[in-house]
Amino acid sequence: MKKTLIALAAVAAASASFAQSSVTLSGTVDVGLEDRGGANSPLRMESSRLGTSNWTISGAEDLGGGLKAIFKVSTSFNADEGTTNGNVLGNNDMFVGLQGGFGSIKLGRSFNPTFFYALTANSTKGVTGYQTRANTVETDGVYVSNQVLYTTPNFGGFSGQISYAPSEVAGASAHRGVGLSYAAGPLVVNFAHSKLAAGVPGATVNSLNLIAASYDFNVAKLLFTYTDRSNVASDADNTWGLGVTVPLGAGQLWASYDRSEVGAGTTRVIHGGYKYFLSKRTTAYVNVGNKKNALVGFNGSPADKAITGWGVGLAHNF
């Protein structure tokens, strides 16, 4: 009888320990057809034009006293051809960390604070190439490798991030980033600053400042993002975008107007689309875009300085 009780106690303890840990497999498969417009862009199949096709393993372990161990391995892939971006495991974010009343700290590869605090039209990517990419947050990288990222808890609507990533090259500058956010009710205001690791000694360090805000009117949500790059010419350092999302029927309408300084001119992009929610996890979508390049045309064709493209697709989250 005593041995039976001991065995039952051991099983109960093991079960309790197992219940304190969790591992989740999740991801997205997003693929569709697209015509980017212009003389050099035939109809093609594209991946990740609503969100990003990925498979992700994440989890947490309760360490007691409000402290948790956390991890994540997220790999993006091209759903149209079955390859991963750069053929790298964890090319999105891949980290291990701790989370508790102090906030969280992550070690590995994780979001660049400047990109994390950017606000776009519901994060919808739209037609390939129709973002104002020059000198934007994407230039600094969506994710930062070798990063230590600290995120504060929420203090009455205020929260922040501090990041550091060594260059791993003697004499080269490290990546440093900081972000501050205020979110209360319908209003969100964000500020972020980052310096991207130069990679080689003596190289110019990319520095980017970002201000972003959004306001939800319930019938529509307005979003604004402005970036300023401090290490490039004054006529090629600013980008701004104004976006809107509107619930419509069983889906959502979105649109964005973006401008980016390029040399003595600007690149202007108008893009938008409609997302139809077939279920909580499956979305059909259509994207349209019009782009006018300041200096050279799309795909290097001078005749394509002003073009229009479109795309349709289907995305499923699991």
For the beta carbon of residue 283, count every other beta carbon within 10 angstroms.
21
Name which of 83, 140, 72 is nearest 110 in CA terms.
72
Residue 1 located in a structural domain = no
Q: Write down the pLDDT at residue 233.
A: 65
pLDDT at 139: 58
The model carries a pTM of 0.84
**Given a cut of 80, is residue 296 above it in pLDDT?**
no
Q: Which domain holds residue 306?
A: 23-28+45-317
CA-only gyration radius of the chain, Å: 22
Say whether pLDDT at 17 is over 70: no
Q: What is the pLDDT of residue 302?
A: 57
In which band, very low, low, confident or very high, does the pLDDT at 266 lie, cut at 50, 70 and 90? confident
Sign of CA dihedral 213, 219, 220, 221: positive
Question: What number is the average pLDDT over the span 258-264?
Answer: 75
Which residue in the block uniquely carries the two structure tokens 């390859």? Answer: 83
pLDDT tens for each residue of 196-219: 766 667 666 778 899 999 999 999
* Rounded distance between C-alpha atoms, residue 108 and residue 93, angstroms: 8
Q: How many domains does the chain have?
A: 1
What pLDDT score was predicted for residue 291? 87
CB 126 within 8 A of CB 271: yes
Output phi, psi for 104, to 5 deg: -150, 155
Residue 243 lies in a domain: yes
Q: Does the pLDDT value for residue 15 go beyond 50? A: no
Domain contains 40: no
Instruction: Give the residue ranges of DSSP H helices in 56-126.
Output: 113-116
CATH of the domain at 113: 2.40.160.10
- Write out pLDDT tens, residues 214-247: 999 999 999 999 988 876 666 667 888 999 999 9
Distance of CA 159 to the CA centre of its chain: 18
Six-digit token pair at 257?
A: 């107007």
Say what the pLDDT of residue 107 is. Answer: 98
Residues 267-285, mean pLDDT to the nearest whole number:
95
